[in-house]
Homo-oligomer: A and B are copies of this chain.
């Protein structure tokens, strides 16, 4: 800390040197000045306090003599290395997710060790250096133009999205997008949803007072073909918006069939409503059939939502909404006069990451890595638990393991006892889902670092229920 700023309350009367020494002593004693902290130069502190330079020098010298401070040639005056008690310090409490299970197969998290640090630092350097000065003024709530232009190109190329930078709004993630759309007065509830989904999103909708209407689900995906006749999505008070995960139903895993995509868009047109397309992992597909965004079918009736949470890291808080032009102004109004959420450094760096090709390169590298893990998961299950059906693995960062009826809760509990973090399918089920639950596990195979993945698979294998006994009395 070569130059420190320091606030001291000097008693207004009495000798300045003694008052300053007392104030410094108090600051060290109470822990306000931490051990090792470098004090400001005499000159600087003297100017701040309106006292003579020698007064500061004398006070420092007195405290060095008393052992509160240390002075060493070339490193200035520092607080001595003694433990200073902080008055309000509570006993150390681990943060909520610090208590890691030894094995982590929770869905939704990319391998944190794979974040492309060097490339990201380079992107920050290039982007911050090149940014115009207004990048550091209060931000446009629509998001940086560099990023919106890069996203318009990228999403067109990779996801088949048709838009212009004018109709993209940057946010801090898909959840923020949902808050703006449904809590910000842009769209009114109720909202039709899939019968399985992210509980976190349902929590946001509940907090915004938005009622959700669960659709059915079959092998072709959510029953959007019934939107036009479903009692919750017809009539004056029925839903005019539907939230879907068309590329990869979350978390059960199938893509929405072409006819169901068309049905959703047709319904939105007929109702004057919108389809909210949560494209949470559209970039990670392993089979031969790319599944484009529904948005490309009708940019005027689909809001396309995405983020970098899966592709880069959930710690980079950036997402986007591609909006029907008629909704753009309302979303901007909900967001406010100035950008209050998305930091400019991340926005500029992501724009550079996209246009320089680093983003594609990283996604390609991760897709290869996850493909290998997915193969290892399938191989381990085929060898040791061939009775467990695996679904939803054509895309994304997780698989669904179908379990025999009535075994899910016990399996999740056994996993917890074995130090294996994962979720049962029931955790994602809408409380009013119209169809019966099927037992299953949601296995995120992207979460652990590479070297811990085999052990996590081994832990998984050990907690899976045995094959159902046919003819139990046969033995």
Contact = CB atoms under 8 A, between A and B. Distances in A.
B315 A138 contact: yes
A314 interface: yes
A337 B175 CA distance: 13
A325 B133 contact: no
A66 to B, nearest CB: 20
A357 B314 CA distance: 29
Nearest to A1: B357
B340 A4 contact: no
Interface in A156-184: 156-164, 166-167, 172-173, 175-176
Interface in A279-300: 283, 288, 290, 292, 299-300
Nearest to A90: B166
Interface stretch (A5-13, A189-197, A401-409): A5-13
A92 B166 contact: yes
A384 interface: no
Nearest to A287: B50
A342 interface: yes
Interface string A82-106: 0000111110110111100000000
Nearest to A152: B86
A475 interface: no
> How many copies of this chain does one complex carry?
2
A341 B157 CA distance: 28
B343 A318 contact: yes
Interface stretch (A109-117, A215-223, A266-274): A109-117
Interface stretch (A123-131, A230-238, A419-427, A432-440): A123-131
Is the interface on chain A under 10, 10 to 19, 20 to 34, or 35 or more residues? 35 or more
Contacts of A161: 32
Contact of A48 (B124, B131, B136, B290): B290
B341 A317 contact: yes
A457 interface: no
Interface of A: 1-9, 27, 30-34, 37-38, 44, 48-50, 86-90, 92-93, 95-98, 109, 112-113, 115, 117, 120-121, 124-125, 128-129, 131, 133-142, 145, 152-153, 156-164, 166-167, 172-173, 175-176, 200, 283, 288, 290, 292, 299-300, 313-318, 325, 332, 336-346, 349, 355-357, 360-361, 363-364, 449
28 contacts: A1-B357, A1-B360, A2-B361, A5-B158, A7-B159, A7-B160, A7-B290, A9-B290, A9-B292, A27-B157, A32-B156, A50-B288, A87-B299, A88-B164, A90-B325, A95-B142, A96-B140, A97-B138, A113-B133, A115-B136, A117-B129, A138-B314, A172-B172, A200-B337, A315-B344, A316-B345, A341-B341, A342-B343
Given A95-B142, A113-B133, 20 more contacts: A5-B363, A5-B364, A7-B290, A9-B160, A31-B162, A32-B156, A33-B156, A34-B157, A37-B157, A86-B164, A87-B299, A117-B128, A124-B124, A136-B313, A138-B314, A172-B340, A172-B341, A313-B344, A315-B345, A317-B342
